[in-house]
Amino acid sequence: MPEVSTSPFSYRDDRTVPAFDDSRALFVFDGVCVLCSGGASWIMQHDKKASINFTPAQATLGRALYIHYGVAMDESYLLIADGRAYTASRGYLELSRILGGWWRILGVAVLIPERFRDWAYAVIARHRYRWFGKTDYCMLLTAEQRRRLL
């Protein structure tokens, strides 16, 4: 399930999806998963151009986007970029493109067949709570990071 949308900005026509600033990419992550929240925090720290906004899947916007794209929250995060939604390994390749700089070198992963990349992603996603745990609290964010949390 690499790209889940073929119609750019389709969420704009869906009344159940709250309006949001889509001039930047949006990373929708599982806010109770320690691995996922930590990953979102890591992306925030390394996104020097502040080109990505964030929202937890449990928030109104996150839930609406998961429903709009027909993706189960337990299957993957969502990356909305240029009006299109990406998941699993394809989303991380798109993320490395957005981050730019030396992160683009991760694009060599495209040489690995997508079904193998997505299989590895699915194994981790399926076991993430057991391996990494859950949290009931939000991590402490800097003022700049809070501004990017939708």
What's the CA gap between 121 and 114, in Å, rounded?
10
pLDDT tens string, the chain, 150 residues long: the values are 445 656 889 999 999 999 999 999 999 999 888 888 888 988 988 898 999 999 999 999 999 999 999 999 888 899 999 999 999 999 999 999 999 988 888 888 888 999 999 999 999 999 998 998 887 755 555 667 667 666
For the chain, which residues make up each domain, given as ranges? 10-134
Global pTM reads 0.86
State the pLDDT at residue 1.
47
Task: Assign domain 10-134 to its CATH architecture.
Answer: 3-Layer(aba) Sandwich (3.40)
Sheet holding 78-81, edge to edge: 52-56, 25-29, 78-81, 84-86
